[in-house]
Amino acid sequence: MKEIKTFQQMYRDGHVNRREFLAAMGALGITATTAGGLLSSASALAASPTRGGSVIFASNLHGPDDTLDPILGTSTIDYSRANAMYNGLIQVWDDMSLHPELAEEWSVNDNATQYTFKIRKGVSFHNGGELTAADVVYSMNRHIAPGSPSSIKSFFSSVIEWRALDKYTVKLNLSSPDADMPFKLTQPQAKIVKKNSMDKWGAGTGPYLLDDFQAGVKSVHSRNNNYWRDTGQWLDGIEMTAITDPNARLNALLAGSVDMITAIQAKHIKKVEGAGKSMLSIPSGLYGGICCLKNTAPGDNDDLVQGLRYIQDRERIVRKFLKGQGTVGNDHPINVAYGADHCHELPQIPYDPDKAKYHLNKSGYSEAELYVAPVIGFIEDACLLMQANLKKIGFNLKLKRVPTDGYWGAVWMKEPLNVVTWNMRPTANAMMAIQFGPNGNWNDTYWNSDRMGQLLKDSLAETDPGKRHEMHCEMQKLVSTESGIIIPAHTNIMDAHDSSVQGFSNCPLGQFGGNGWAEHIWKSA
């Protein structure tokens, strides 16, 4: 990642030309399409932003319930709205480094059980009033309150209290060490809202105001001219909506009725580029997978799950359906994008029809039903391939195709076998805790392991890199052998936009450079 950023800067500064930049990316093992996206990003940053204009952003998903409340966010469109309307204490940049946001500085004690945050002065909420420590305490206590609906509540299970020391100082006390806490505070759900404000229309401090909101339809935003920092807010207005059908979403971009779309299917890359539109492809831990619920049949049958693991033709999925824009999955969420916490020593699960047949016969099942929706570009094709390969060994997998609208509320975590997609989290521990921790409120396979819980806790306190790596390896092995998740592939984050829209970052944590695009993008005439 550092090498990429270095070459981007060299290109912006004129020290390397286009040919030299692309050659350097090739030497780093980056595909031509991804390198082109990185080049476009570098070019955008080299250009002079202009103020004015508006964009229409079309997400691939609505949330279970579209929301303006950041703690309830579950989908790309929720996160994009949160980043447009609110700020957090800390933010993460392209290279995954941490930087101040509403907390102008922070400090931590020796064993990572106490954090102190100095709150930025002179920051105003959209509906009036200055940001103070009381607003921070109120916002963060919402995650730990009894019965809290926070979608990242499990991130804060060790919190004893958030306490205001004075008007601009907040102290966080933890019951156990958590060296990942600053990264957790970068999540869209951890945005700061105005104390006791139920008016979510004006309870934020972010770069864009909310003018209109129709849940499940769209939101309309205008520039906050009183924003506390000068990072852009170049656009006059932004409209956020969703087009859940991937073909309809692509056609809307090509027709010019929208300016930005998420979740491009790899098979459509040439079509996008051939129409003069731009791709943004960012290597990431983003994945598509299959959830086998461990608390109900047939997902509670270990042999059935093992059979489905061995029937995944993972290399073919990456090669054919992702066009090389991704990495082979190993049935745990931590791929190479997570750096040192990725367990490269863990043996790769092979495509082995004979082993698949053995386990499926042992399971006692000869058929099953899988709920499928286009939650991520390649997943429908991957499921069709799995169905065909299972048929060859005498197993009947029925695919029940359902629309994306309402999927997360009606199917995910409810039907015994269903498909899923997850964005990358800022740390490996955060990713595994929210999905596989004993208290994870998004434990979508309902697998619980005391050992997993202990490792998640211990790794947050471990400072020795070697020991930490060993812990993460054990966790990844547990997930890939005992849980009900099957992850055939991780995909680059692939978005597309009109070439007139520029200024995107390359943060791997979400669509359009980490969902924080609203603050920085601009539109050329």
10: part of which helix (H) or strand (E)? Answer: helix 2-12
Task: Give pLDDT tens digits for 183-226.
Answer: 999 999 999 999 998 676 789 999 999 999 998 899 999 999 99
Res. 45: pLDDT tops 60: no
- Residue 130: DSSP 8-state: B
How crowded is the C-beta side of 389, counted as CA atoms within 13 Å? 24
What was the pLDDT predicted at 67? 87
Indicate the pLDDT class of residue 31, thresholds 50, 70 and 90: low
Task: Give pLDDT tens digits for 299-332.
Answer: 999 999 999 999 999 999 999 999 999 999 999 9
What was the pLDDT predicted at 419? 98
Indicate the pLDDT class of residue 230, thresholds 50, 70 and 90: confident
Read off the pLDDT of each residue in 263-283 and give the average, rounded to a whole number.
93
Q: Which residues contact 360 (CB under 8 A, 6 or more apart)?
A: 303, 304, 307, 366, 390, 393, 395
Res. 441: pLDDT tops 60: yes
- Residue 425: DSSP 8-state: P
Quick check: bond before 298 cis, omega within 30?
Answer: yes
Task: Give pLDDT tens digits for 353-400.
Answer: 999 999 999 999 999 999 999 999 899 999 999 999 999 999 999 999
Cα 477 to Cα 472: distance, rounded to the nearest angstrom: 9
The better pLDDT of the pair 295, 41 is held by 295
Contact between residue 142 and residue 150 where contact means Cβ atoms under 8 Å apart: yes
Distance of CA 110 to the CA centre of its chain: 30
Cα 47 to Cα 342: distance, rounded to the nearest angstrom: 36
Contact between residue 169 and residue 115 where contact means Cβ atoms under 8 Å apart: no
Per-residue three-class SS string for 156-204: HCCEEEEEEEECCEEEEEECCCCCCHHHHCCCHHHCCCCCCCCCCCCCC
Res. 36: pLDDT tops 70: no
- Residue 124: DSSP 8-state: B
- CA distances to 89, 91, 127, 142, 161 from 139, rounded to whole Å, are 11, 16, 16, 5, 12
Task: Give pLDDT tens digits for 120-133.
Answer: 999 999 999 999 99
The CB density around residue 122, as the number of other CB atoms within 10 Å, is 7
What was the pLDDT predicted at 39? 61
Read off the pLDDT of each residue in 430-457 and give the average, rounded to a whole number.
91
Cα 525 to Cα 523: distance, rounded to the nearest angstrom: 7
Res. 146: pLDDT tops 50: yes
What was the pLDDT predicted at 23? 63
Conformational region of residue 353, where left means phi above 0, alpha means psi within -120 to 50, and beta covers everything else: alpha
What was the pLDDT predicted at 255? 97
Backbone angles phi, psi at 154, to 5 degrees: -65, -25
Task: Give pLDDT tens digits for 476-522.
Answer: 999 999 999 999 999 999 999 999 999 999 999 999 999 899 999 99
Cα 204 to Cα 87: distance, rounded to the nearest angstrom: 7
Distance of CA 329 to the CA centre of its chain: 16
- CA distances to 46, 53, 344, 518 from 235, rounded to whole Å, are 18, 5, 43, 8
Residue with tokens 């306490």: 163
Cα 135 to Cα 17: distance, rounded to the nearest angstrom: 48
Distance of CA 307 to the CA centre of its chain: 29
Contact between residue 82 and residue 70 where contact means Cβ atoms under 8 Å apart: yes
Residue with tokens 């949330």: 63
Q: In this structure, what token pair is assigned to residue 297? A: 């049949």
Indicate the pLDDT class of residue 86, thresholds 50, 70 and 90: very high
Backbone angles phi, psi at 80, to 5 degrees: -65, -40
Contact between residue 382 and residue 317 where contact means Cβ atoms under 8 Å apart: yes
Res. 14: pLDDT tops 50: no
Res. 28: pLDDT tops 90: no
Q: Which of 10, 39, 3, 2 is nearest to 22 (CA)?
A: 39
Region of poorest pLDDT, from 58-67, 260-269, 405-414: 58-67
User: What is the crossing angle of helices 32-46 and 2-12, to 10°?
Assistant: 50
What was the pLDDT predicted at 15? 42
For the chain, the average pLDDT equals: 91
What was the pLDDT predicted at 283? 92
Cα 409 to Cα 517: distance, rounded to the nearest angstrom: 27
Contact between residue 155 and residue 430 where contact means Cβ atoms under 8 Å apart: yes
Domains of the chain plus CATH, in order, are 2-61+206-283+493-523 (3.40.190.10), 87-190 (3.90.76.10), 287-491 (3.10.105.10)
Return the percentage of the chain with pLDDT > 70, whole number.
90
What was the pLDDT predicted at 1? 53
Task: Please spell the DSSP secondary structure of 80-94, one letter per residue.
Answer: HHHHHH---SEEE-T
